[in-house]
Amino acid sequence: MLCGLLALGGLGCSSADEPTGAEVVFGTALICLGDAAEPLSVEVASTETQRQRGLMGRDGLAPDTGMLFRYPDEATPKYGFWMFNVPFALEVAFISAAGEVVDIKKMAPCVGVPARECPPYQTPHPYQSALEVSPGVLRAHDVSPGSLVREAINGVCDGD
């Protein structure tokens, strides 16, 4: 389970070791990475239930897709992500309230073990959202700390 805002003190996802249960429905959006001409299609996790479920229990991500975790307030460095019940590697870009990538972490799969054995992935920087994608997607779009992430306007990236 990818649990956005996982409290590192207690690895605080309420149902981390329980079965996934009911289906969680996510919103969608098109976002622009850096100077990319084409938008990236993402699922949006903006509620606590959506953020707790994340990509848990899926087999993978389609090319050039991802999941955008949005938070109502800026998250502090004591919070992070984990990969409980996610059987594929991911990268996460932590994004400031201004839309700037402040950090990128590579995350390894964590399946077949208790949730407490899955390592947390955190950043020392405050962030308001985080984008999870397959390894190499950020590099392919020339995204690094300092790059901007923004929503596409009418489905188009303007390149600015």
Model pLDDT for residues 9-30, shown as the tens digit of each residue: 333 333 333 345 578 899 999 9
The CATH code of the domain that includes 138 is: 2.60.120.1140
In a domain, 114, yes or no: yes
In a domain, 16, yes or no: no
| CA–CA dist 69, 128 (Å, integer) | 9
Residue 75 confidence (pLDDT):
84
Residue 22 confidence (pLDDT):
74
Residue 9 confidence (pLDDT):
31
User: Tokens 């996802």 identify what position?
Assistant: 13
Beta bridge partners of 68: 44, 131
* Domain count within the chain: 1
Question: Taking the alpha carbons of 30, 157, 94, 140 in that order, is the dihedral positive or negative?
Answer: positive
Q: Name the burial class of residue 88, with classes exposed (0-12), middle (13-18) and buried (19+) by CB atoms within 10 angstroms of its CB.
A: middle
- The residues of the chain scoring below 50 in pLDDT are 1-19
* Domain span including residue 103: 27-150
Residue 7 confidence (pLDDT):
33
In a domain, 12, yes or no: no
| CA–CA dist 70, 7 (Å, integer) | 16
Residue 153 confidence (pLDDT):
92
In a domain, 34, yes or no: yes
- Rounded alpha-carbon distances, angstroms, from residue 53 to 31, 71, 122: 21, 14, 18
